[in-house]
Amino acid sequence: MVNKLENLDFTGKITVEELLLVLKKEASDISVTDIMTAYSYLVAEGKYVQGNYREEYLRAYVKGFILRLKEIKNNQNKFKDTVNTCELKEAVELLNEQEQMLLKIRSKESHFFKIYKIISIYTTFVLDEPIHIVGTPFPGGFKVKYENGTYFCPVKDKQNDNPGAVCGFCIAEQDEDV
């Protein structure tokens, strides 16, 4: 039986490959209905995004989160590295806290959050990439970018006090040009 993220043994070593197996199990538990509901949520939230980049925002979130479920399920790469279990544990705990908080306030987001949780862990600890894909737009016309082997985020430092942000474990660095 494959563990869930919450059931991982954080006291020992966890290989990237072991983590990927858990994420594959988590991804396989996402139904087509969950995906459709998550997409509907993104579209509804898009109405609050400035019109001039609403379409780009939606495209980035669909590509960066929803479509990556298939990528996880089909990922056949072999990984020998181990993950930093302390950082992984903190990330899982943060995401679980956010999920509990979210369920108390707005359960309609729970379908997207299931996907968001899986993808956040996958991109950070398996792919070693930022949670938001390169090109994801943010207010002010800024985007996540990749330069000289480093990912840069325009809002990372501005999210330090935000309990709903996952920026603390995202590998992107603050874009100093912003």
What is the C-alpha separation between 57 and 12, in angstroms, rounded?
39
What is the C-alpha separation between 38 and 45, in angstroms, rounded?
10
What is the C-alpha separation between 70 and 67, in angstroms, rounded?
6
The answer to whether the beta carbons of residues 171 and 128 sit under 8 Å apart is yes
pLDDT in tens, 98-151: 888 877 776 667 788 889 999 999 999 999 999 999 999 888 889 999 999 999
What confidence tier does 3 reach under pLDDT thresholds 50, 70, 90?
low
pLDDT (0 to 100) of residue 108: 63
Residue 123: what residue type? Answer: T
Say if residue 1's pLDDT is above 50: no
Residue 161: what residue type? Answer: D
Say if residue 2's pLDDT is above 70: no
**Mean of pLDDT values over 85-95:** 94
Say if residue 7's pLDDT is above 60: yes
pLDDT in tens, 32-82: 999 999 999 889 888 888 888 889 989 999 999 999 999 999 999 999 999
The model's pTM is 0.91
- 3-class SS of residue 140: coil
For 72, the token pair is: 């996880």
Contacts 24+ apart (CB under 8 A), 134-140: 135/56, 135/60, 136/57, 136/60, 136/61, 136/64, 137/53, 137/56, 137/57, 137/60, 139/50, 140/178
